[in-house]
Chains A and B, each alone.
Chain A
Amino acid sequence: MITETHNALQEFIQTRFASGMAQTIGFEDDLLMSGVLDSLNVMSLLAFMQQRFDVKVPAEDVIYEHFVTINAIVNYLESR
């Protein structure tokens, strides 16, 4: 089910990190393989998530599995 969270994330990532890309980023697209997310961008994303969703992700949870796709990020947020 697509939620507000999905959309917010997608919009942020698209505009901030993938503005030059032609296609829109899908919720199941691998963000890391494609180079959209790298270690620097992840920091910005975390800042956004704190600001927008009032969620502070502890350092131990900032791992590949939780950020590989937009769905993964949403799943993680919902598990909290």
Chain B
Amino acid sequence: MMRTIELTPGQALMWLGQTLNTDAPLYNMPFVFMIDGALDPVVFEHAFDVVVRSSDTLRATIREIDGEVRQVILDTSVGELERVDLSTSDDPEAALREWVARQQVRLFQYDVCLYHSALLKVRDERWAWFFSQHHTVTDGWSVQVVYQRVNEVYTRLLNGEAIDTIDVPTYAAYVRHVAEASAQARDVDQFWAERAANAPPQLRVYRGGDTAGTTAAVREIVVLDEGRMSRLRALAMQPGFRSFSPDLTYANLFNALFAAFLLRLGDHDRVRIGVPYANRSTPEFRATPGLFIEMLALDLAHHPGETFASLYKQAAAENIRAMQHLQPGVGRAELNRTYAYVLNFITARFAAFGGMAVEPRWTHAGHGDAAHALRLQVHDMTGLGAFELNFDFNVHAFSPADRARAVHHFLMVFDACVAAPEGEIAHIDLLTPDERRRMFEAFNATQQPPPAAQTVVELFEARVKRTPERIAAVLDERSLTFRSLNNAANQLAARLQEAGVGAGALVPVCMEHSLELIVALLAVLKTGAAYVPLDPLHPPARARVILQDLGSAACIVTQPQFAQRFDAPTITVAADALAVPDLPNPTRSVTKDDLAYIIYTSGTTGIPKGVMVEHGGLVNYLSWAVRFYTGGAPMTFAFFSSIAFDLTVTTLFAPLISGGTIHIYPDGGKLGTVIRDVIAEDRVDIVKLTPSHMALVRDLDLSQTYIKQLIVGGEDFKTSLAHAFHENSRGRLLQHNEYGPTEATVACMIHTYNPSTDRGGSVPIGVPSDNMRVYVLDRFGMPVPPGVVGEMMLAGANVARGYFNRPELTQQRFQPDPFVPGARMYRSGDLACWTDHGQLEFLGRADQQVKIGGVRVELGEVEAALLSHPAIRDVVVEAQSSAVRSAPAAHSECRRCGLSASYPGVQFDDTGLCSLCRAYDGYKDRAAQYFKPLPEFEALAERIKTQATGQYDVLALLSGGKDSTYMLYRLVQMGLRVLTFTLDNGYISQFAKDNIRRVTEALGVDHVYGATPGMNAIFVDSLHQFANVCNGCFKTIYTLAAQLAREKGIATIVTGLSRGQFFETRLTEELFTQPHFSVEDIDAGIAQMRAAYHRQDDVVSRSLQVDMFRDQGGFDDITFLDFYRYCDVDLREVYSFLETAGLWQRPPDTGRSTNCLINDVGIFVHKRRRGFHNYALPYSWDVRLGHKTREEAVDELNDDIDHARVTQIMNEIGYELPVEAQDVSTDSTRLTAYFVADSPITGDAIREHLRDYLPETILPTRFVQVAAMPLALSGKVDRDALRNLKDGQTLTGTYEAPLGEVEETIADIWRTVLGVERVGRHDNFASLGGTSLPAVRIAARIGATYDLKLPLNIFFASPTVAGLANAVEQLVMAEIARLSDEEVAAQLLGESP
């Protein structure tokens, strides 16, 4: 006969955990009791049997009965006491250990027996009782009870008593109690439900921390020594610590100590600790074997000034709170999931067994709860008066090094807290004296005697005296000796001084790479002023922003060809003005505290800020650089990088102060070629460059190169790249990794690549340079020990003065050096960590630490994993949260137009004005010229009337919406005979159709509906390409309308596009800011663009099979007139007019649109895939143009979308959202990997490879293969360009540098207009981010360069550099052959003339 009882909630939870990890013995509770004495095994076996027969718990099995899991209590005991004799083996103790190790991980047969009991003979008078149970039927207290009953029965049996069974309370009674209790415990339930719902963020110590759902665990054991125990005991007696009982006091103490450890080393100020409570509330329960514990959770927090004493108070109060809310059955899965750390203070004790000495060992089966990163069990089971600490580490969350560290750091925290409980937790020192010496003192012992000179000019002038005839700079055939360079600089300095430039002045210098540039920089410095470099190749907007920030600059030093860019007074330095007689050095009073230069950096908000570098810092850096790289010997440096970035400072000034030579490479922008030249020409000893520069020439054979050293800076330097260069140069090249932000004057740390020891993903950043100190501090400002991540603080002589004109930011980032009074330090925002070998490991920017599904991910780690793929050469991993593309600024919406920060590329100034509004202010007047007054339209209308031949004057595009309807009224008012056309795309609202019918009937105009069976395919394609439906729809409308107009002999089509839409689709800033602006040119350009756009072979043209556009004349006989170009009316007026007219009613079912039901699909998809509303831009234009108020625009963008309907329509048209856009969770950060590879690789292939290295949750979801990494002008990867690659666009194909002069010129133009560093001859214009708008500009420039007219349709016919060059050549040759451009164009397009 069998009895069954249900499981308690606690048992059910355990059971659930076990079924989720069927193969792991994570709930085995193995004990070994070593008994020393003359144990009688037969009596022991008998005693054990008695206890089993007496306790239902020991006869419990777990089975599924009718779909329910229940405990089945067997009548007879099934498990026998196993008898093992190890005394005959060579080493019985070792044999015992092995036996235990094997047996303790055996999984139980749940339906047979839930314990394993064995008596092992080690030798005469030494026995081991192995007793292991499944946790569903036991806990610490239960083991103690069972042990005690076996002990008691054994003794009685030995005394001759006959015992059949003993009185043991049943677990069944407890199960009944639980069922009753849970009915009453509502407020207790509520308490834990709330706690489960409000979990603090997961806290991590060290760099691991995530169990990733694994159960494997390792136990480290520490027994507290007598010193620690006596101090702990003393503390336990102190007022403020002493609690109701010693056990309670120690429980509180260890909870608090554990919390102190986690809070001191972790990355959050709050921690939740899981604590099991014995839950033995009655004498009967106290005597019942079985599982009673309830897992509850205590919340502790670190507040500013928190001490161990105050933390203890928190722990004590939390303990009381938990006890007040302790009821059977109250533990729950939702609560268990919210903590990763458990403290188990065990009070079980085991008395002598039958009078014999016992040593209890609680062993570890190597597995634990998958949610627990660390369980700390504290017990004194032996009763020796010393606590044994068992640290059970989840193996995935704690590496072997981290485990050792955790124990070590816990003890440091223990010692500090117990010795000085009133001390602040934040100030607990985690460094051993040896570590402090090594990592803090010795590491930063970089003092060098201060340099002799105060300023770099002094150093230069001293060098001039020493080696006047050495060549200082050379460009092609021209060169300057030190003497002539000095003279030229003195002369220019005199000019500058005459113009009022002197100490304290800020002088922008905008010059291309030339001898004159070197002269200019020195000249400015010689006057005592500071230079502000502007790269003439940068987009003009950047110079404008910088000049605006500087305010009134004294004057700008530039070259004649750039002078007209600037409104401010300029001083031009012409070529050939450099041969001058000897001139004395100007006198000046400049010290090391005066500024040498201001260099602007971008930072994450996109608004450049000027870093002010003083002479002192510059001289310190340069003195070190000369010492380290040249040893004082004269060397030749290659100057090819941009002067706007401080990468170049080394290249320019190191040779100038050490008698070396600057070898200048002129601007030409073909970066790959330049670097190749640098390497191939035997001229240069040292090259300073970025890793991205290196990647461009990764495959070059460097075995014969003249170059001896590479100084690599600006970006993370991957060892795979260093290794490649090492191999290619057969080890001849020295590669130095120079780390440092502009704020630390070029660089402040150095490491020379060592192929045998540098094995990590990145080349180490090394050690601080002269007179610089690097501290790695945690969030409490304390130096971190090995294994803990901290922020790098850079202190010492190189620290810049601050940011120009940004006092708050300066105060935030530049702080007093806490370790050297009077000194300053810069918060780099870079994270680093000490390895176990005492090396500093760079971990990337703090803002590159992202969380994916709650797991912290280091992007560098993902990048390294990708680089392990044999075919991948270069990679950049970016994280994107689905809401925002670019980092949001402090302002979330423009104060004028309401444009949201989520709109890609938009920036906000300090007043909250967006960059579009700001730019528009600049060209507002010109833009106004594009728009015309209504009378002009009326005049046009008159002309049309006289010229019209057929039945109608014009064809009007009538969508049925408010804009086109209003337009129709006005057209009719003007007396025009109008044919109206509507595209029925299948989703026009019936209400809209009714509007159309009523209005056209009332106005007496004819109306035609057009349609195409391919409409759904057009929608789907538009959604794929543009993440909207309107693009496809517009194009279809225009195409069909033109066809219809042709048919009916109508020469003019009138559209109802709004002004906002003009700016959105065709009028860009460039059109209005060109030096030669003319509205006619804009019109012509737009007309050409329209024609070209319609010629493009795409889904629309294939669906519509429209032949008319294949022949150039497709649009020639049709004029498009945009009504709203001439008519300026705001939203309210339109609605008011329509209301008065009474026939048009706003459809209730079209959402944002006023005619169309599928519009919402476009909005939905766009938001999901691009992260912002596709009406954001046009609405902002409506506001800018005064047609809407800001509130109206913002309000309209916050409409709700009917998801169900959108999904239905997507199904109808056959569109499926791509995987990455489907995620609906709010915290949806995803990784995109941009990579360069030898051959095309699919994302799936890479994912397969990565699975060996990374957990599934952090695998990138998007893989974009690019031909080459786009580089910004700084030489670093242009992440904006990567991010702005449109969906579905990838750069494929291999990079080929432009060939020949024409291609190079054209590539130049593309580079400048598109703002891209590298343009390959076969790169597709669109894939480089080019749209129709820059096309106009580029075509204009090409035309200007070659003095011909380049029609835009040719542009789109061959949108590559190679293709265009070919076209241009043919056009030029045709010039010569005197063919007309049209004829040549026809030839190019393969048509008969």
Interface residues of A (CB under 8 A from B): 32, 37-40, 42-43, 46, 58-60, 62-65, 67
Contacts and interface: CB of A to CB of B under 8 A. Distances in A.
A40 B318 CA distance: 15
B1065 interface: no
Contacts of A67: 244
A37 B244 contact: yes
Interface string B243-277: 11101100000000000000000000000000000
Nearest to A46: B324
B307 to A, nearest CB: 16
A37 B281 CA distance: 14
Contacts of A64: 239, 242-244
B181 interface: no
8 contacts: A38-B244, A39-B245, A39-B323, A40-B281, A43-B323, A60-B316, A62-B316, A65-B239
Contacts of B313: 60
A32 B245 contact: yes
B97 to A, nearest CB: 38
A59 B320 contact: yes
B973 to A, nearest CB: 79
A3 B321 CA distance: 29
A78 to B, nearest CB: 20
7 closest residue pairs by CB, A with B: A59-B317, A59-B320, A60-B317, A59-B321, A62-B320, A39-B248, A64-B242
Given A60-B313, A65-B239, A38 B320 contact: no
B324 A43 contact: yes
Contacts of A43: 323-324
A16 B243 CA distance: 21
Contacts of A63: 243, 316
A63 B239 CA distance: 10
Nearest to A58: B317
A37 B1310 CA distance: 85
Q: Is the interface of A mostly helix, strand, loop or mixed?
A: helix
Nearest to B326: A43
Contacts of A58: 317
B406 to A, nearest CB: 30
Interface centre among A42, A46, A63, A65 (most CB of B within 10 A): A63
A46 B245 CA distance: 17
Nearest to B321: A59
Nearest to B241: A64
A36 B318 CA distance: 23
B323 A32 contact: no
Interface string B561-600: 0000000000000000000000000000000000000000
B245 A62 contact: no
A62 B239 contact: no
B248 A59 contact: no
A46 B324 CA distance: 9
A62 B317 contact: yes
Contacts, number: 37
Interface string B479-518: 0000000000000000000000000000000000000000
A39 B281 CA distance: 11
A79 B104 CA distance: 56
A32 B244 contact: yes
A63 B240 CA distance: 8
Nearest to B280: A40
Interface centre among B244, B247, B317, B323 (most CB of A within 10 A): B244
A59 B317 CA distance: 5
A74 B428 CA distance: 39
A66 to B, nearest CB: 11
A59 B247 CA distance: 18
B244 A42 contact: yes
Contacts of B321: 59
A16 B900 CA distance: 68
A59 B324 CA distance: 9
Interface centre among B243, B281, B320 (most CB of A within 10 A): B320
A56 to B, nearest CB: 10
Contacts of B316: 60, 62-63
Given A59-B317, A60-B313, A63-B316, A38 B245 contact: yes
Contacts of B318: 59
Contacts of A40: 281
Contacts of A38: 244-245, 248
Nearest to A31: B244
Contacts of A37: 244
Contacts of B317: 58-60, 62
A64 B248 CA distance: 11
Contacts of A32: 244-245
A47 to B, nearest CB: 9
B1130 to A, nearest CB: 62
Nearest to B239: A65
A70 B243 CA distance: 16
Nearest to A37: B244
Interface string B228-247: 00000000000100111101
Contacts of B248: 38-39
A10 B318 CA distance: 28
B1209 to A, nearest CB: 56
A37 B244 CA distance: 7
Contacts of B324: 43, 46, 59
A50 to B, nearest CB: 10
Contacts of B323: 39, 43
Interface in B303-322: 313, 316-318, 320-321
Contacts of A46: 324
A65 B247 CA distance: 17
Nearest to A67: B244
A37 B248 CA distance: 12
Nearest to B281: A40
B639 to A, nearest CB: 68
A67 B244 CA distance: 8
A39 B345 CA distance: 15
A20 B248 CA distance: 24
Interface in B165-204: none
A58 B314 CA distance: 12
A64 B242 CA distance: 6
A67 B247 CA distance: 17
Nearest to B323: A43
Contacts of A39: 243-245, 247-248, 323
Nearest to A33: B245
A55 B642 CA distance: 75
A63 B316 CA distance: 8
Nearest to B246: A32
Nearest to A47: B324
A60 B240 CA distance: 11
A44 to B, nearest CB: 10
Contacts of B244: 32, 37-39, 42, 64, 67
Interface in B638-668: none
Nearest to A43: B323
A42 B319 CA distance: 13
B299 to A, nearest CB: 12
Contacts of A62: 316-317, 320
Interface string B535-575: 00000000000000000000000000000000000000000
Contacts of B281: 40
B1037 to A, nearest CB: 71
Contacts of A59: 317-318, 320-321, 324
Given A39-B244, A42-B244, A43-B324, 12 more contacts: A38-B244, A38-B248, A39-B245, A39-B247, A39-B323, A43-B323, A58-B317, A59-B317, A59-B320, A63-B243, A63-B316, A64-B244
Nearest to B249: A64
A19 to B, nearest CB: 13
Nearest to B324: A43
Contacts of B239: 64-65
Nearest to A65: B239
Interface centre among A32, A58, A67 (most CB of B within 10 A): A32
A70 to B, nearest CB: 15
A62 B242 CA distance: 12
